[in-house]
Amino acid sequence: MSSTKTISTLIVEDSALMRILLSDILKSDPDIELIGTAKNGKEGVEKARLLQPDVIISDMIMPDYDGVYLVENIMKEIPTPVILLSSLEKNDGLVFDALQKGAFDFLDKPKDDITNSIKAKDYPLTALVKVAAESKIKKIEVKENKNSHAFHGTAAYAAIVIGASTGGPGAIENLLKQLPNNLILPVIIAQHMPDSFIHSFAKRLDELTELMVKVAESGEEIRPGYIYLAPGHSNMRLRKNPHTGGVVVHFTDKVYTEFNNPSIDCLMESAAEVYGDRMIGLILTGMGKDGTEGLKKVKAKGGVTIAQDKDTSVVYGMPKSAFDAGATDILVPLNQMGGYLVSCL
């Protein structure tokens, strides 16, 4: 960020202690300015209307008017990037409602005793505020596909492997809505997200689509028509079962440079080894470069490589990195992604 223009922020949080803690985090960065605080979603909307902040940081659970209320009304009146803070212990799926209504991203709430780690800049709030300030608010309308598709014989590909980060939960929901309910190959997803949220996300997706959605487990065999989410406790790899010829899930402690638990590169590279030219690799919206090396491997093995286009990405970071590296065959808008994937089959 240029030092001439600071990012104005608004904190919406019912706990006075947490407001102080968050204020200290934001004030530790000279590029960020705190211009106001509010105690619940309703007051947050009123303050946002008055102060016009660049970015809003909001608690998820608040009395009377929560984070979902705030996001819904902010997006209607004054579209502004909203970063949600949600305690892992209190995660009840509401955060995904807010993301679907247009929230930018979410973080696990800082603990009251992390003052030392804040000084060490371990907590990623300021970095996320800067990315949010540069992003565009996106509300992508997709045509929901409730129909079966006439698949003739064997599909041309054996698996679709997807990587996503910031903006990914909403993008994945939208993409799954576009897929036919009788998809005949597996979809395997690595979404950057804390482990306990991944289980809630899988449950939400399972209710959204007629396809079976689950968190992948060590040793299980990948089955057609299932959607698997990589868990967040380690990095997920795929390998061939020498006895059955099937593809099996296992986990590794290997550390990946761009992102860990779950690493998109880890999943993509192993999938490329297993499926060769019979896989489709797809990178959706997200910060950073995770997935670029993995997509390169998919391309080298003869698989199809796709990235979400700039106009529909919440953060055009990972797709841009893959595109700039020559790892993608094509950039596709999110609202056309389902149709494109089916056409490949």
Q: Catalytic residue numbers?
A: 165, 192, 290
DSSP state of 222: P
By the 8 A CB rule, do 262 and 291 touch?
Answer: no
CA 160 to CA 327: how far, in whole Å? 16
CA 274 to CA 221: how far, in whole Å? 13
CA 267 to CA 244: how far, in whole Å? 21
CA 17 to CA 19: how far, in whole Å? 5
CA 265 to CA 296: how far, in whole Å? 10
By the 8 A CB rule, do 61 and 109 touch?
Answer: no
Beta 247-252 vs 235-240: how paired, if at all? antiparallel
Hey, how many other C-beta atoms are within 10 angstroms of the C-beta on 258? 19
Structural tokens at position 202: 């899988």
Hey, how many other C-beta atoms are within 10 angstroms of the C-beta on 340? 16
By the 8 A CB rule, do 256 and 289 touch?
Answer: no
Cβ-proximal residues to 317 (8 Å cutoff; 6+ apart), any chain:
131, 165, 166, 285, 286, 287, 288, 289
